[in-house]
Every structure is written in C-alpha cells, then in structure tokens.
C-alpha cells in the first residue's frame, strides 16, 4: 500500500487542485476530510493514522490529533500561520513543519484595503438599504490624508502600507523590529494618532489581545479597525462596548472566534463588516499556496530514509 498524505484545506477538499497530481505522481495516496469543511479533532484522529504527510489548513492541530498520527513526518501548511498547531507536541514527536511563506500576502493585503474602503464609504450598508427598498445614503469619508496604523510589518503589512500610500494616506507602523522605509511608532502612540488601524501580526504568546479596552480608549473617537489576521487579537467584549459608545467607528474583520461563530453579536452589529476568512481565497493565492505546500511536502518526504 502507498504511503498516504492527508489533505484538509477547505479550498482543496472542495475543489481539488492540479498540483495535487504531483503527489500522486510521486507515489503517494491522497486522503481527504469532508469536502469544504474544516475537520474536527475526532475526524483527524481517525484520518491521520497511516499518513506520512499532511497538507494542512487552518484547522486546530491538537496534541491528541498529532499523537494519533504515528507515522506522520511532515505538516505542510498552505499558509503561513502556525498558531493552530501544537508546536511543542509536533517538536516532541519529531514532526517537521513547513509553511507556504508569502503565498497569501497579496490576497490578504488587497482584502484589507477593500475592507478599509468599504468601512470608509459604508458600501455594505448603502447596498443593503437599496436591496431592502430604502433610498438612504450614508456619508463616508475619504482616505487621502488620513493616518493608517499598520500593526505587524511583515509581507502583508508592507504590502498594505504600499497600497495605502498609493491612496495618499500617511502610514505608520508598529513591529517588534524596525522596518526600513516605514515610519515606526510605539504601539500606544500608534493607537493615538491613527484614523484606521489594520492588524497583520501573529497572536501574542500569552494570548492577550492587542486591541483591548485600554487600546480602544487611546484611539481617536470614530477611528476604524480592520482585522485580517487572527480573531484573538481583539477583546471582543471591549470592541462591542466601543462600537456601542461610538468610540470605535467601525470594524471590518475576516476572522472570527469560531468559524462559523457561535456567538454572532459582533458579526451582526450594524457597524461591523465580516467576511468568512476569505483573505487568501483568490485564485492566484490558492495556486501559489498549493504549489509551495506541495513543493515543501515533497522536499521533506524525499529527505526521509527509504524505510520511513
């Protein structure tokens, strides 16, 4: 029987991809979870035994799932985030982890700019009013001359900064290290000066929110917040309170706690725009990510001894 590789990203289990044929051509049997759905821990425990490779998405890769994967040698993400992986367990079990670095940056950055414009011009609300039979116009504002605060100046953050500069915005950034070509500010100062904040950083190691009640209080009244990174970066209760008071003018988020979310208070708020974790879901991003993820899988698996 051929060695197996498990495929779990929703975009691949639903629609497949030509790059997967390269895995078959290399002699691997492919296994899939339910089409278009993130697998549960229980489903992974059942699917992973016998798999030497795992082309993985955003599903939680828990200790229990990894410990069930007795033959697993490599996890290849079709994105860059690793906060959904129990890294300590993977390291203990000797499982290699590879990422599709940079593959999704353009798609996520363009969505962040799109969400920024949608908030500034109330595009969803104006569209919804017309479809509901109401002719109501909401006054927006122009982004020219406004200050964008970018938290996280990696590939996505730098692309967002470049696009925002093209809209004649003033861009300031915060990161753990200075980045050439960007005006870097301390986080507290950024919250105070920005008209729009866009999040492009990983979660904090201790799990604390980056945007909490204190951060929201520092922001200009009516400022906008865009989150295309991780839901855990926001203190959801504090964000809701700030929206209700008008301290926060609006939120646009591509990420929510639970996907789909069990608690819909934030998603259903009238000054919130939500998208279903679709930042990387462009034809180009998917193609790049799958090609890189397959390259990484084959690279790691070919390093194994013939008996592995």
84-99 confidence digits (pLDDT tens): 999 999 999 999 999 9
Q: What is the band of 187 on the pLDDT scale with cuts at 50, 70, 90?
A: very high
Catalytic one of 136, 142, 259, 268: 259
| pTM greater than 0.85 | yes
- Domain assignment present for 308: no
Give 265: exposed, middle or buried? Use CB within 10 Å, 0-12, 13-18, 19+: exposed
- Specify whether 17 is catalytic: no
For residues 52 and 158, membership in a common domain is answered with no
For residues 75 and 111, membership in a common domain is answered with no
For residues 144 and 269, membership in a common domain is answered with yes
pLDDT at position 259 is 82
| pLDDT above 60 (res 1) | no
- Domain assignment present for 292: yes
- Domain assignment present for 194: yes
**How many domains does the chain divide into?**
2
126-162 confidence digits (pLDDT tens): 999 999 999 999 999 999 999 999 999 999 999 999 9
250: Cβ contacts below 8 Å, ≥ 6 apart = 119, 224, 225, 243, 271, 272, 273
Mean pLDDT of the chain: 95
For residues 268 and 232, membership in a common domain is answered with yes
251-287 confidence digits (pLDDT tens): 999 999 988 888 899 999 999 999 999 998 899 998 9
Torsion, Cα of 272, 273, 275, 279 (10° steps): -110
CATH code of the domain in which 70 resides: 3.40.50.720
pLDDT at position 160 is 98
pLDDT at position 260 is 85
pLDDT at position 306 is 63
Q: Among 257, 255, 258, 239, which Cα is nearest to 247's?
A: 239
213-245 confidence digits (pLDDT tens): 999 999 999 999 999 999 999 999 999 999 999
- Specify whether 230 is catalytic: yes
- Specify whether 200 is catalytic: no
pLDDT at position 307 is 53
For residues 161 and 290, membership in a common domain is answered with no
For residues 199 and 138, membership in a common domain is answered with yes
- Domain assignment present for 146: yes
Residue pair 249/223 in contact by the 8 Å Cβ criterion: yes
Structural domain span for residue 14:
4-103+283-301
When pLDDT is averaged across residues 3-15 and rounded to a whole number, the result is 93
14-59 confidence digits (pLDDT tens): 888 999 999 999 999 999 999 989 899 999 999 999 999 999 998 9
pLDDT at position 48 is 97
For residues 163 and 33, membership in a common domain is answered with no
Number of alpha helices (DSSP H) and beta strands (DSSP E) in the chain: 12, 12
For residues 129 and 41, membership in a common domain is answered with no
For residues 164 and 135, membership in a common domain is answered with yes
- Domain assignment present for 306: no
For residues 41 and 92, membership in a common domain is answered with yes
For residues 74 and 111, membership in a common domain is answered with no
pLDDT at position 11 is 86
When pLDDT is averaged across residues 159-186 and rounded to a whole number, the result is 96
First-to-last alpha carbon distance for the chain, in angstroms, is 14
Catalytic one of 230, 236, 288, 300: 230
For residues 127 and 220, membership in a common domain is answered with yes
Q: What is the band of 305 on the pLDDT scale with cuts at 50, 70, 90?
A: confident
């Amino acid at each position: 029987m051929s060695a197996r590789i498990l495929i779990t990203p929703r975009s691949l289990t639903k629609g497949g991809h030509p790059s997967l044929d390269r895995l078959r051509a290399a002699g691997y049997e492919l296994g899939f979870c339910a089409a278009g759905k993130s697998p549960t821990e229980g489903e992974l425990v059942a699917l992973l035994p016998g798999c030497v490779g795992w082309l993985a998405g955003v599903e939680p890769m828990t200790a229990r799932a990894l410990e069930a994967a007795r033959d697993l040698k490599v996890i290849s993400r079709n994105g860059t985030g690793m906060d959904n992986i129990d890294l300590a367990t993977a390291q203990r079990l000797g499982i290699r982890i590879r990422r599709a670095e940079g593959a999704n940056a353009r798609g996520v950055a363009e969505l962040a700019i799109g969400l920024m414009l949608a908030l500034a011009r109330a595009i969803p609300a104006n569209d919804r009013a017309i479809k509901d039979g109401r002719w109501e116009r909401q006054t927006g504002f122009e982004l020219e001359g406004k200050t964008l605060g970018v938290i996280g100046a990696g590939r996505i953050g730098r692309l967002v900064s470049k696009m925002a500069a093209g809209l004649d915005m003033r861009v300031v950034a915060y990161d753990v290290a200075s980045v050439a070509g960007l005006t870097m500010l301390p986080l507290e100062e950024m919250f105070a000066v920005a008209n729009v904040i866009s999040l492009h950083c990983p979660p904090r190691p201790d799990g604390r929110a980056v945007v909490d009640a204190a951060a929201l209080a520092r922001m200009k009244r009516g400022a906008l917040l865009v989150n295309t990174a991780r839901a855990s970066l926001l203190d959801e209760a504090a964000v809701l309170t700030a929206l209700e008071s008008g301290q926060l003018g609006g939120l646009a988020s591509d990420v929510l706690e639970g996907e789909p979310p069990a608690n819909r208070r934030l998603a259903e708020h009238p000054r919130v725009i939500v998208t279903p974790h679709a930042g990387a879901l462009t034809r180009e991003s998917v193609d790049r990510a799958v090609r890189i993820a397959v390259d990484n899988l084959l690279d790691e698996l070919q390093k194994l001894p013939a008996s592995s």
